[in-house]
Amino acid sequence: MAVSSGTGLDPVVALALVGVLGVGSQWLAWRLRLPAIVLMLAAGLAVGPGLGVLNPAEQFGDMLQPMVAIAVAIILFEGGMVLNLHSLSDAAKGVRRLVIVGAPLGWLASTLVLHYVAGLGWASSAVFGGIMIVTGPTVIAPLLRQARLQKRPAALLQWEAIVNDPVGALAAVLAFEVVVVLNTAESAGHAVQQLVLGIGFASVLGVLGGWGIANSFRRGWVPEYMKIPVLFVVLIAVFAASDAVLHESGLLAVTIMGLWIANSDLPSYVELRRFKEHATVLLVSGVFILLSANMSAATLAALDWRAALFVLAVIFIARPLPVLAALAFTNVPWKERLLVAMTGPRGVVLVAVAGLFGERLAELGIVDGARIAPLAFALVLATVVLHGFTLTPVARALGLTAGTTPGVLILGGSRWSVALAQALEKLDLQVLLADPNHAHLRSAREAGVPVYYGDILSEAAEDRLDLVAFDMLISATDNDAYNTLVATDLAPEFGRSNVFQLRRVRETSSRHALPVTLGGRAICGDETFFELNAKMAEGWVFRTTNLTEEFSADDWRAEHPDAIPVAVLGKGGGLRLLGPKDTLRDVTGAQVLAFGPPRPDLANGQA
């Protein structure tokens, strides 16, 4: 294996190792249902200060800081792109209060804790305190899905994380600009002049970059296949140009650029955001591994009792008090206020931005800036582990969970859909039946099935529906094209393996065959909407059968030769929807839900 002149790996091998460790940690975390950030931290510390295999400062040399800076710029640009001001204006009063009141109070409280508890100077405390506003949208989303919170507390936590992501970074950038100017300017007047010039230039450049991208994309001046490359080139150019005028003002410029694009109503916005999110996952993984591996044993050893006291103070003082003050005199019940106040996991964005600004402060001669990175790692690790294991039981104790069983969202109000929803409800599963046609929901309402009237793809549905409560989607309307559209659009939200639709009428025709990238997985055999509802008219029903050691899957198939298996509910409560190619496995204690013809010897719903 090639090695560098030092003790570490060759830079190319080192870069490959960073990618493998970062993405591998995220995949392993998904498989084990653990917070990815914990595994990335363990991997980075193991190959860095632990084994000494990876030494980013040695292997990448002078390129390390520019690499991290550009990655952080793209991460902050992504944060700006998720902040749609229209969505914010329509958000609940509690969300607006958490952002408008809670963020400044959180900045102040974090700064005070950093100064008086962690022992940092005012400059480092002000910069790091701004970053600590960020609660980690990439961390909170999987926690909310796992905890199955009710709609309002979940919305409060989710929107706070999304909106405060760029707000916290912006606060840190502004604080850092003040520190830079005060330490480099010749006089107070010169300092103010530099600060106003730098922030003004960064703001104008960010607006011009966002306006230029939006205008050129809307007018068709850039072909589709070049939109992503052009976006990234303009992003880096704006960052570099602003940085040349005032150091680190480029972060402010790209955040404003992302905000402008997010609110430009671009038709291609969804594609831009999705690709950008994929790139951000890679960058976040890489930055986290690089920063954790670059930590020295001496720096880690500096985490003493004051660091532990700092973490406790943040969890029990700097986080709860600003939240409770922000939500005071609102319609949010006290139980929800308490849950939100005690839930503040920090994520990779905090570590990435804190690591970058810590190094910049140290370069300015502010010695305690070097302590910011290890304190950030300690805070992230403590909050992610704490909330990862306590959010669900705490929410359950407060009565704020939406349910402990898998949820199924069914689109289409036909007789077959209503019968399926009733069968799933008998298995104690959470079900919601949606349809854009009000008349189609009549039988569902009469049967007592929860319904939603409206287009599932509309902004109103996004605001009113709690999609976190649902694990799977079944698109089963009488419109095959609409089923395909819904399944394709919501696949990233639910996961492609959890999105299903009925077989299209003309699916076997080569003229109407669609690529595998469109639509969802087939369900209920090879039956179409019309064939299934025709069988309902013939008396077909849904039945549930228990598999035991004495009654196996083969026995079930022999006894129900014409039935179509639809789903299997495991002994532990896990639900698995079955496609035409899925096999029914022997699992003692599992329940098989099937759609079959009438049997005089059995009552409906029994086997």
2 has pLDDT over 50:
no
480 has pLDDT over 70:
yes
pLDDT at 319 (0 to 100): 93
pLDDT at 6 (0 to 100): 46
25 has pLDDT over 80:
yes
607 has pLDDT over 70:
no
For 80-91, the pLDDT digits (tens) are 776 666 655 544
| C-alpha span between 371 and 361 (Å, rounded) | 10
| C-alpha span between 339 and 136 (Å, rounded) | 16
Nearest CA among 118, 511, 473 for reference residue 318? 118
Cα four-point dihedral sign 167, 168, 171, 172: negative
pLDDT at 458 (0 to 100): 75
Domains in the chain, ordered, with CATH? 11-397 (1.20.1530.10), 407-596 (3.40.50.720)
Tell me the β-bridge partners of 451.
433
The residue that leads in pLDDT, 350 or 260, is 260
Q: Who contacts 175 (Cβ-Cβ below 8 Å, separation ≥6)? A: 126, 127, 129, 130
Q: What is the DSSP string of 299-358?
A: HHHT--HHHHHHHHHIIIIITHHHHHHHTTTSSS-HHHHHHHHT-----HHHHHHHHHHH
| C-alpha span between 285 and 60 (Å, rounded) | 17
Token duo for residue 389: 């294991």
Phi (first) and psi of residue 222, to 5 degrees? -120, 125
Give the mean model confidence (pLDDT) for residues 151-166.
Answer: 75
166 has pLDDT over 70:
no
4 has pLDDT over 50:
no
For 393-413, the pLDDT digits (tens) are 888 888 887 666 678 999 998
For 228-262, the pLDDT digits (tens) are 889 889 999 999 998 887 766 787 788 888 888 88
| C-alpha span between 605 and 423 (Å, rounded) | 8
Q: Who contacts 577 (Cβ-Cβ below 8 Å, separation ≥6)? A: 472, 474, 498, 500, 521, 523, 566, 567
CB 253 within 8 A of CB 209: yes
Ranked by mean pLDDT, the top range of 243-252, 332-341, 567-576 is: 332-341
Query: At 177, is the pLDDT very low, low, confident or very high (cuts 50, 70, 90)?
Result: confident
Ranked by mean pLDDT, the top range of 14-18, 244-248, 377-381 is: 14-18
pLDDT at 195 (0 to 100): 65
Q: In what order do the strands lie in the sheet with 472-475?
A: 451-453, 430-435, 407-411, 472-475, 499-501, 521-522
pLDDT at 606 (0 to 100): 52
Query: At 1, is the pLDDT very low, low, confident or very high (cuts 50, 70, 90)?
Result: very low
What does the longest C-alpha to C-alpha distance in the chain come to?
Answer: 95
Give the mean model confidence (pLDDT) for residues 486-499.
Answer: 84
| C-alpha span between 413 and 57 (Å, rounded) | 60
pLDDT at 345 (0 to 100): 86
Nearest CA among 482, 487, 489, 474 for reference residue 429? 474
pLDDT at 516 (0 to 100): 62
Token duo for residue 45: 């510390």
For 578-590, the pLDDT digits (tens) are 888 787 887 778 8
Pairing outcome for strands 521-522 and 499-501 = parallel
| C-alpha span between 15 and 13 (Å, rounded) | 5
Q: For the chain, how are helix, strand and coil distributed in percent, rounded to 5?
A: 65, 10, 30
Q: Who contacts 290 (Cβ-Cβ below 8 Å, separation ≥6)? A: 18, 44, 56, 64, 67, 68
Q: In what order do the strands lie in the sheet with 541-546?
A: 541-546, 591-596, 564-569, 575-577
- Angstrom distances, CA of residue 451 to CA of 178, 312, 404, 454, 478: 53, 44, 20, 10, 17
Ramachandran assignment for 454, one of left (phi > 0), alpha (psi -120 to 50 degrees), beta (any other): left
For 119-130, the pLDDT digits (tens) are 899 989 988 998
For 279-311, the pLDDT digits (tens) are 777 777 888 788 788 877 776 777 788 889 999
The residue that leads in pLDDT, 71 or 593, is 593
Q: What is the DSSP string of 119-170?
A: ---HHHHHHHHHHTT---HHHHHHHHHHHTB-HHHHHHHHHHHHHHHHHHHH
> What is the rounded average pLDDT for all residues in the chain?
81
3 has pLDDT over 50:
no
The residue that leads in pLDDT, 164 or 484, is 484
